[in-house]
Amino acid sequence: MSDAGDFADYLNSLGRLTSHVDPTTSTPEAERIAVAVDRLGGLLDADATGLAAWVRDNPADVPVLGLAVGLSQEKLKNALRDRFDTTGWYGLARTQPVELVSWLDAEFDLVRTLRAQMSKTYTFADILVARAGSRVTATRAGASGRRIEDEIEDIARDLGLDYVTRSRFTGRNGRTAPADLIIGDPDSADIVVAAKGFDSTGSKLTDAVREIEEMAEVRLPKQLVLAVIDGIGWKSRQSDLRRIHQLWADRQIDGMYTLVGLDRFRADVTEFAQLRRLI
């Protein structure tokens, strides 16, 4: 297994797990978009240059543009931190309005989406769909979390390994701990993997850290403990991410990967499986 790399390098390798969803075809927040129409006034036919001027003059209203492309305030903050290394849209609007609007347009199709919504007549049905939006968003968040689980399961299957998913394994003194992928019999597991992907923030990230710490605490010396962690939500909870990275640096877990490093994950799993004659 490789030694723990630099934490900053790992942080920079985190990527977005959820694809952008066009709110004009899914669950736009109709009532708040109506407010945005009033604030944007005569910018119906404005281009990115006009929007940049509007942002510079109305820096507090940047979240309105986020809502127009389907970003909640939390998602907007996470995206800003990922791109500009700050969550302060007010300062960005004042000092980098062109860069801010250009990024919103390139990443989220701001100008086209804004024009489409400002010219639309909203109905009562649209309002009801927007009110149901949080449940749809929660479903998407769960799907993004399962993306990592699916990727590592595909690798285990491709290598011909026996495995179970989302279960518990037995370690030291008969204690058990959760794992998202367990290779071998859970009662005598050979390899256990945590898969934790979040594009948003919240207590679930701290819960994920506790799970990995529990895995490290109960592991037997013969068991390989790995963690695949990704998503820009971790950039807003760097202290939690650093705790996991420290487990790797202290060799309490054996590897830590993002999705772009899954080739190395596959190689490490293959090497250990061959040593244990699992393949």
Please list the rounded mean pLDDT of every run of 10 residues in the chain (279 residues). 80 79 49 60 70 88 86 86 90 93 92 80 72 54 72 94 95 96 95 92 89 97 96 90 95 95 94 92
* This prediction's pTM: 0.62
Looking at residue 149, its pLDDT comes to: 92
Q: Rounded to the nearest 5°, which phi and psi values hold at 128?
A: -65, -40
> Please, are residues 97 and 52 in contact by the beta-carbon 8 Å criterion?
yes
Helix-helix angle 97-108:73-84, to 10 degrees: 110
> Please, are residues 90 and 100 in contact by the beta-carbon 8 Å criterion?
no
Looking at residue 105, its pLDDT comes to: 92
Name the token pair of 147: 């993306």
The second-level CATH assignment, the architecture, of 7-12+143-275 is 3-Layer(aba) Sandwich (3.40)
Looking at residue 26, its pLDDT comes to: 46
Looking at residue 32, its pLDDT comes to: 52
Torsion of CA 144, 147, 149, 155, to 10 degrees: -170
Collapse the DSSP code of 45 into the 3-class scheme (helix H, G, I; strand E, B; otherwise coil) and give the result: coil
Strand partners, 178: 168
Looking at residue 68, its pLDDT comes to: 82
Q: Name residues whose C-beta falls within 8 Å of residue 85's C-beta, 6 or more positions apart in sequence.
A: none
Looking at residue 229, its pLDDT comes to: 94
Domain borders along the chain are 7-12+143-275, 28-131
With vertex at residue 139, the alpha carbon angle to CA 124 and CA 191, rounded to the nearest 5 degrees, is 175
